[in-house]
DNA sequence: CAGTGGTCTAGACCACTGG
DNA sequence: CAGTGGTCTAGACCACTGC
């Protein structure tokens, strides 16, 4: 059943000879066709037409659907793949990116062991300390674009590597989007937290910003991380976004860096 | 005068019907044409045929020179632009990227003021504490792929923002490549250090890796940064590379993060 | 206005995957 | 083997820059 597909056309088909294109002020902000296609594909992703892990239609099919050439679809997909929203696999097709993947696990975690690589270190142990619904503080509300006092879910947990507690973090999620999130759900789940968010709440984290500082361990934090109070810790504040730049998670972590470091690539 | 240009051709023109392509073992590692073009352009960049800031030949010219279509050159340039080696400017041409640019200054510095943006904060004050030639320690030699004991230039400096000393860093450079680098040269130069390296030593930093830790300020560092000894500081160790992944600088910085933070984007 | 990069097309062929 | 993404081409036209 062929549903109506929006047929993107460039600047309303440029009616013959209208030099100053209608009612706009200044430049009408030219948008290339492939950008429009990209936006349409993005809409399908947001709408859940294709879910994380799914195979999306082939370039040929999309070209037919949108009434453009394959090359144009290709360029749109190229950009979406560069943004890590899609994954191309030659010979198989194009898939919606997901956090459910062995080898791309911890995509957002930049902490690495000083010696050897992550795989050698083995998986992290996770202890959920708390998971409760609270009213958003002014700060949390501002970050998540909510009103102060709105309901948010707050999770506290500790991650340990080879038995050494290394990361202590709190995270806040909009209450509305994470209705069934409880301590039980969290402790029962084995994979990465963002994978859980994807499958259980339909929230896919796509991009994040982090702000790092060096801070001294408070008494409470020191106890959780088994270090002396006052020990320098790496403070990592993360804001994670879904499609369309909507912030969906605020995370505040304290990282021990005696045997690990935060790795970053500068291009 | 038309010098001989290497004419890239795909897998030796695939002689008619040779199913198991000659003497290779296993997969002969297929390399697309545009990658070969990319490599050729890279060679010209390394060789200094086009210097930072220069306009390179148009896509048409390059296509003619390499005997390929414009689209293929385009794809090669696309990747080089994505790697920040080239900069495209519509209507003008394609230029070799450079650190001599106002708005892309501090391309590798991720420290931002907590409130307001960098421009509002104004330019940093730089105090060179020392610049001397020393023998590479084992660590420095390993990082720079030299032999322990080889000559390296060591620079120490402090960067201050709005009068507050904020970054204390040491950096090591291979002595051979930085022959005329003295304290006088450094203090006389106004722009970013990587711009100086470009114009005076022909060394263009293209990529870098950083490792961050939280550490306590030593007595010496505390004095330089005007904080109490033991204050948590962000330790930033950077390895910067030229073309071809050759490491050319090791940098060890200590950042005050009481009024600044290290910002990072996760894709 | 000419020259540049940017978009779009149509078609041929190649490399990879899986049945 | 058919179907997918990946490469390459040739040509037309558009948008931007600067003379």
Report the alpha-carbon angle B162-B167-B168, nearest 5. Answer: 130
Check whether residue B252 and residue B124 sit in a common domain.
yes
Check whether residue A132 and residue A204 sit in a common domain.
yes
**A6 part of a folded domain:** no
Structural tokens at position A19: 């030099």
Percent of chain A with pLDDT over 70: 88
Query: In this complex, do B211 and A261 lie within 8 Å of one another by their Cβ atoms?
Result: yes
Structural tokens at position B180: 């005329």
Check whether residue A185 and residue A243 sit in a common domain.
yes
3-state secondary structure of A209: strand
pTM of the model: 0.90
Indicate the number of domains in chain B: 2
**B172 part of a folded domain:** yes
> What's B29's domain CATH number?
1.10.10.10
The distance of B254 to chain A (nearest Cα, Å) reads: 10
Q: Which residues of chain B (84-143) touch nucleic strand D at CB < 7 A?
A: 89-92
Strand order across the beta sheet in which A164-174 lies: A125-135, A151-161, A164-174, A247-255, A232-241, A207-216, B260-266, B111-113
**B221 part of a folded domain:** yes
Check whether residue A119 and residue A247 sit in a common domain.
yes
Is A210 an 8 Å CB contact of chain B? yes
Check whether residue B223 and residue B181 sit in a common domain.
yes
Check whether residue B64 and residue B125 sit in a common domain.
no
Nearest 5°: phi and psi at A24?
-75, 160
Rounded mean pLDDT, A7-17? 49
Check whether residue B119 and residue B201 sit in a common domain.
yes
**Of the candidates B209, B213, B262, which has its C-beta nearest A257's C-beta?**
B213
Alpha-carbon distance values, B95 to B4, B8, B56 (Å): 23, 23, 6
Question: pLDDT digit string (tens) for A121-171?
Answer: 988 999 999 999 999 999 999 999 999 999 999 999 999 999 999 999 999
> What's A257's domain CATH number?
3.40.1410.10
Residues (pLDDT < 70) of chain B are 1-29, 102-104
Check whether residue B63 and residue B180 sit in a common domain.
no
C-alpha–C-alpha distance, residues A7 and A80, integer Å: 20
Which nucleotides of strand C lie within 7 A of protein CB?
3-11, 14-18
For B112, name the nearest residue in chain A, comparing CA atoms only.
A211
**B48 part of a folded domain:** yes
Rounded mean pLDDT, A46-55? 94
Check whether residue A147 and residue A231 sit in a common domain.
yes
DSSP string, B117-158: -HHHH-PPEEEEEEEEEEEPPHHHHHHHT--TT-EEEEEEEE
**A11 part of a folded domain:** no
C-alpha–C-alpha distance, residues B123 and B104, integer Å: 13
pLDDT for A41 equals 97
**A204 part of a folded domain:** yes
Structural tokens at position B247: 């490491």
Between the two ends of chain B, the Cα-to-Cα distance in Å is 47
**B154 part of a folded domain:** yes
**B249 part of a folded domain:** yes
Structural tokens at position B204: 């263009």
Q: State the residue range of the domain holding A29.
A: 19-96
Which residues are within 8 A (CB) of A163 and not within 5 positions of it... i.e. 6 or more apart? Answer: A125
Check whether residue B180 and residue B51 sit in a common domain.
no
In chain B, residues with a C-beta closer than 8 Å to the C-beta of A215 are 214, 232, 257
Rounded mean pLDDT, A195-199? 94
Check whether residue B152 and residue B31 sit in a common domain.
no
């Amino acid at each position: 059943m062929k549903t109506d597909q929006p047929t993107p056309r460039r600047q309303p088909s440029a009616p013959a000879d209208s030099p100053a294109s209608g009612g706009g002020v200044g430049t009408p902000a030219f948008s290339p066709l492939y950008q429009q296609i990209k936006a349409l594909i993005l809409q399908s992703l947001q709408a859940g037409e294709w879910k994380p892990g799914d195979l999306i239609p082939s370039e040929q099919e999309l070209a037919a659907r949108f009434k453009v050439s394959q090359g144009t679809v290709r360029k749109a997909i190229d950009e979406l793949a560069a943004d890590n929203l899609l994954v191309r696999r030659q010979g198989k097709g194009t898939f919606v990116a997901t956090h459910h993947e062995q080898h791309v696990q911890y995509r957002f975690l930049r902490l690495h062991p000083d010696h050897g690589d992550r795989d050698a270190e083995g998986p992290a142990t996770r202890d959920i300390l708390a998971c409760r619904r609270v009213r958003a503080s002014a700060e949390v509300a501002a970050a998540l674009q909510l009103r102060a006092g709105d309901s948010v879910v707050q999770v506290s947990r500790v991650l340990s590597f080879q038995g050494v507690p290394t990361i202590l973090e709190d995270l806040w999620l909009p209450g509305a989007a994470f209705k069934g999130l409880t301590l039980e759900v969290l402790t029962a789940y084995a994979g990465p937290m963002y994978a859980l968010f994807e499958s259980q709440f339909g929230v896919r984290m796509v991009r994040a910003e982090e702000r790092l500082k060096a801070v001294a361990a408070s008494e409470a934090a020191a106890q959780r991380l088994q270090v002396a109070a006052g020990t320098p810790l790496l403070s990592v504040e993360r804001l994670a976004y879904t499609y369309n730049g909507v912030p969906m998670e605020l995370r505040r972590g304290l990282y021990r860096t005696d045997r690990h470091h935060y790795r970053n690539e500068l291009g």
